Structure 1
């Protein structure tokens, strides 16, 4: 099945891309390579892949859409199985008060894996959520539901005597399965400067039986990039699984992002795929944006805990600082790149208010998200950050 070999490669390719700016639709190219290991004691072959694909995304009101078309992996060995995948989805997140937000994300995917064991699957999943944010602490409760179907081709080999002597025959039969899973999760994350630990528990039910998992992760974030690590203990119908993974994301400047990751990935209750290992690296290059160049753009890079990238176009400024709840209201200098000033900051899921000091004067662009007045009558922007992986930024 897909999880035995190519799932880590797909995860690497999907997570390497950047969500589009909230004001524009962006098209990006992902290129990379990965090495996938089969599950311990399971059926599968270690394989090396060349991965690539195109993605685009954008936003609408309080929601956003994302997609990845043409993502696939080419096996670089005869024993491996090449694969192709297409996915898409929408997300919506809306505050109901200063510290509480409600949201939902819906995603669908279809993929196919080639020989030696052809496999096809298609599914759709939905995750409603409610989030609470208090200072540097974020708490999130979510539900999960998924439906789909899969087909695997099983080959049987036998020898039959003929008038020309023994002959080897191979007959393939298709085994179809209905896929479903439902569950719930609770997570708490704490921002401690550049370090952000998080703890989560999840439970699922599926045709093969119940799953439960506890996760402990940590991120260390700085201006150049982000390092993350996560360990998890799974209780599955086939026994206990312990998984560990780590990765590094580096912003190279402009519109390029480099991602490297490796470790052992957890099982998938919906696809009934076991835990498997892998490692790899990829680069995401933004090819084009559709829409006028805005004064302010923002991106939320999802990979474990979110990382916020703010860009303010101000060619005449000599110094710009960003300040908000995600900086604990301490001014953080932005770096100049031509006419654009940029800053990369760790950010927790939830509701965040912010603004800028431009040459010492408070400033909030008119097209900034969620313009509101503070208790002193000043204008500030509001950003809503979802916990969902691979979702674009969500703005009011």
Structure 2
């Protein structure tokens, strides 16, 4: 069977723009959660977030900037970096051989809010014509496809944090089906009043004001997560084709599984563990082959309990190092799992597990080996990434090192 590998990566994250900057900050355990600066958060119960310190001016054609939401601008720049990193010659391949599949959680919320403000304060004649697509869930896929002339398979997954894995898995299917190159992953950016209202509706967001104590996955003091913006765009190719052209290979997308939780109150068990089992079987690896687990890390006690139970049932008590580097940057919605995939590939390359910050120890009874405070040396060639989306979506993905 065709092996699908990652040959290019573009990262936009609160703790670093660009792969090397993000990864070095992650290994240092630098907390990028801080008070929101993009607008005055004083009237809102959420005042902390993982913001990206980044100006798009000069990085994109000026005509694109008024047409696009911040999330799309970040995705466009990250896609430029990913394709350059891959050394891909798009001009030398048929446009139908390259496609784009991304994930999205909210679409262009900030753009939409600004245009709604114009509608209600000034009237419909003041609403931008670009509103017709800039707010839409599929806009990143469309804009990336247009910018890079990629006319092959396209799509978008709207499964919140699970979407980053779902999109990569679908891109892998397209590579296995014979397409030469796929851009995939996810980037989200909804740090605006409209976005905060949506986060609040989930009931899963911390209202704390201390950046070092607001987002504490698996801790006894956990009260919810902190929102963030950003994510990652990846280039996928067939392994043999990538080697023939001399591409650097970060690692393999080796296995994937997805499930959907039963309805609340049904009495049936959550299915995150089943998603992980499917991914392990798809990759053809055993639990003892997994060097580390990148956790979904909801920081909601009942959800943390579900995840820790799933990990313990798979690996045994304290059976595998578990990490949640998103504790440094917040949960990035559809961008979170794509960035975790990147971190997993880098961790396998460097033989190190990045830390979970701010958490002193897991809550009693969780029985997971949470990597806290400092990076930990690791040996192994495979990592498991877990992700859950609001509404019951579960996804799991196994990545394998390039060696």
- Please give the TM-score of this superposition, normalised by the length of structure 2: 0.24
Higher helix share: 2
- Higher RCO (Cα < 8 Å, 6 or more apart): 2
Larger Rg: 1
- Please give the TM-score of this superposition, normalised by the length of structure 1: 0.24
